[in-house]
Amino acid sequence: MKVISKISELRTCIADYKRNGQSIGFVPTMGNLHKGHVSLVERSKKENNITTASIFVNPTQFGPNEDFNKYPRTLENDLKKLTAAGCDLVFTPDVNEMYPDGLNNIFVSENKKSTVLCGKFRPGHFSGVLTVVAKLLGLLEPDKSYFGLKDYQQYILIKDMAAILDLGTEIIGCPIIRESDGLAMSSRNNYLSGEQKSRALMLSKALLNMKKHFDSGNKNVTQLKSHGLNLLSQNVDVQYVEVVDPNYLTPVKEARHGDVITAACFCDNIRLIDNIIL
Ligand code: AMP
């Protein structure tokens, strides 16, 4: 696996792949890789000649009181996992390489779907995400790019951006990979103590419980939400629980197949998100 941290070297490699007519799949990450990330690499391997990934903890998507400084950085282990998964190239730039002119000159922003759900509680977050993803897509020039549905709102915003700005890559959403107990895998799960983990687990349990009620015929969102909130509020601090249209991310009153139940909560100071598609 090629490990490249400089843009000039990356461009040479990508140009070689293109010249040889090889299709490129791309998996952007912030590192501290787990089976969720690896599943994206495996999917890309199946669908492309060349699979690329990036590891970059992007400062512009963290709020001033968020965990940028303590975000787990585990490069050596991550490289082993990517090698084992058969990744061909990983781009590992530092902040200067990505933002040589500083952090706040030009941003990609979206003003509608990025201001609801997580965006309401993390102002500027999606602008940071869209900006770094736009830049990475410009550098890696992938035919297909792979994102986890775990970050559902992020996936929709990136899909919109790629379509509206004609970025020339297909955005593919991949299923959430979970621990055997149901907890959605996340780099931030490393922060959880045993006791916190058992409370964090209530997030996926609450979503499943809501889906169970939906599956047995209850479409009333107020009632569905109260089923989820009952379980959640005893264990974590709920930021939001919503049932939304899968494309517009607008809240619905009557739940339909294909709508998304999405939630964010704090387990003490650790922020967790999860969702389930009805
Ligand atoms: P991150 O490193 O957290 O920025 O995530 C990089 C990519 O991995 C994003 O597209 C995430 O949605 C995806 N991802 C993170 N956790 C999971 C998971 N449990 N299952 C599937 N994809 C995931």
Distance between CA atoms of residues 108 and 271, nearest Å: 25
What is this structure's pTM?
A: 0.98
- Ligand 1 pocket check for 51: Cβ under 6 Å: no
Distance between CA atoms of residues 224 and 258, nearest Å: 15
Q: For residue 41, report the distance from its CA to the centre of ligand 1, in Å.
A: 11
Mutation pick for ligand 1 pocket among 62, 118, 151 (CB with most ligand atoms within 8 Å): 151
Distance between CA atoms of residues 22 and 35, nearest Å: 26
Q: Are strands 237-244 and 170-174 parallel, antiparallel or unpaired?
A: unpaired
Checking if the pLDDT of 104 tops 80, the result is no
Checking if the pLDDT of 127 tops 90, the result is yes
Beta bridge partners of 3: 90
Enumerate residues 6+ apart whose C-beta is below 8 A from 137.
26, 145, 162, 167, 169
Which pLDDT tens digit goes with each residue over 207-261? 999 999 999 999 999 999 999 999 999 999 999 999 999 999 999 999 999 999 9
Question: What average pLDDT does the structure give for the chain?
Answer: 97
- Ligand 1 pocket check for 93: Cβ under 6 Å: no
Distance between CA atoms of residues 18 and 216, nearest Å: 51
- Ligand 1 pocket check for 61: Cβ under 6 Å: no
Distance between CA atoms of residues 129 and 134, nearest Å: 8
Q: For residue 272, report the distance from its CA to the centre of ligand 1, in Å.
A: 13
For residue 149, the one-letter residue type is: L
Active centre residues (catalytic): 37
User: Which run of H or of E encompasses 171?
Assistant: strand 170-174
- Ligand 1 pocket check for 185: Cβ under 6 Å: yes
H helices of the chain, in order, are: 7-19, 35-47, 75-85, 95-98, 118-121, 125-140, 152-164, 194-215, 221-233
- pLDDT at residue number 108: 97
- Ligand 1 pocket check for 53: Cβ under 6 Å: no
